[in-house]
Chains A and B, each alone.
Chain A
Amino acid sequence: MAGPPLILTPPIGVAGCEPELAASTPIYYLLRNKKKLGNFIAANVSPSTKYLRYHVENLPKDGLGCPGRWLVRCAWDHFRQCGVSIAGLRGEWTFGDNLDAVNRLTLGSQQTIEQAALQTWAADRAREFGFPAVALLVCDGAPGQYQSVDVLFTP
């Protein structure tokens, strides 16, 4: 069961970050920034697979607000405190920076999806939590023009 709410102390030296917990259950977590509308993390863990999925935003990209990396850490800590044993990190990319990176790196079949996925921002977070390996689950589209890419980061 969940313990007392984690104390959310923004990283030192960060401007414009005032975190506020908006939803906190053993399966869904939403942390938003009271000072910036487009800055939040929404995360969930599937009870059946124990895979963590998250969406993090910090828009506009003006250098202000709660850093994405810190927001992911908050979500991770939350689920761990709830007693959830996370088995992997899912990446279900249908838009955004991670999909853009995969498309840029696979253009002209320079790299495989797996190689490209390992160079995304999400892969950096996955390594941080001990999930350095990646497996492609499913994708839609062709190299450089994928509409969706589903990957799983595992230990």
Chain B
Amino acid sequence: MSGLDWSLKGLGRHRLRTALSVAGIAISAAMLLDMVMLSGGIEKSFAEMLLAKGYQIRLTPKGTLPFDTEATLAGAGNIVETLRRDPAVESAGAILGTSLYGRRGDSLVTLFGYGIQPEAQALYRLQDGLDLATNDTTGVLLSEPAARLLNAAVGDSVSLVGRLDPQVATAVVSRRLVVRGIVGWVYDYRGQPSVGTVLRVMQSMARPTAEDRASLLMVKVRDDAMAPAVAIRLRSQFPRLEVYSVADLVSFFKRRLVYFRQLSYILGTMSLIVTVLLVTTLLTITINERLGEIATLRAIGVSRTTIVRQVLIEGVALTVIGGGLGTLLGLGTARYLDGILTSFPGLPAAFSFFVPRPESLTTAGLVLLVTGFLAGLYPAWLAARAPIAATLRAEAT
């Protein structure tokens, strides 16, 4: 009989207690997997979102994060030209974000407007129709929610209104634009009605003067590995701007969501403690019940090492069975929990908190296996030090 057979037979003797232990381990394993996904998933998901179009660097007004305030930077065109002349830079573009309104019948609906440079855009993916041309001052791109809100499709005309003045109850700017395409804006929250025009058009709708202002600049460096070094160089080149690499932004984001990371560590640790307690308790009681059997095995020449190995295998087997079920349970609960957290107001729809990845599964599996092994050490030690003669005598009486 192999060690595994002996272990499984041992576990099968008390089905109810084994089933309960497996259920407990499965729930703990599910929680552990969820927490491993949560601890690493936030930053990975955020980094992936930032790199969705390959732009590794952002420049924003001093003291602000991208789109965190309505602050803008001046002279955007000149900065973009300077950036584009940099041999390390493959592409650079300016973006202006602002609130504006669309006409629907005789009422106005609130929209979010992006001013973009179509030749260097990192904000959207075309879903239907055509992209804007570089100098297309009569075209507009809509998100699906914006298209629904304005009841517009590709080829239709929409009327956008900017700079409402509450004191005179009039709109300063109104433009009629043709819908060129329907796009998915990478950083939009779920259901956000957004529209995009070339930068110049959006600038004219956002501000009274012909200032060349932008909310942020995005830079694509030719070589990914060079991005941090280019960010440092740009920081000294533009001291009045904030220059962020993806790593910088991930670091800021991690600080904002530090609570979830710490919660994941605490709950993950608690899951491991529960697993250790369950496996150790079950095996200790099982070993105490089987001391006679173990003493007999020792008496007929089975080595102490073999006994220890079999007890450890039993612990690991219990953990593997519970862990297998826990993985399925964990993937299900992760989806449910992700559904809750991604309903945060203003969170980009592309963002996930729980990201199932092979490395998350591997990490959780390995941690669980080591835990199962460690949990078996104490009962294994008990089994190994059982006095043969005294145990057999006690069993016989």
The answer on A and B forming one complex is no
Residue positions of A touching B, CB distance < 8 A: none
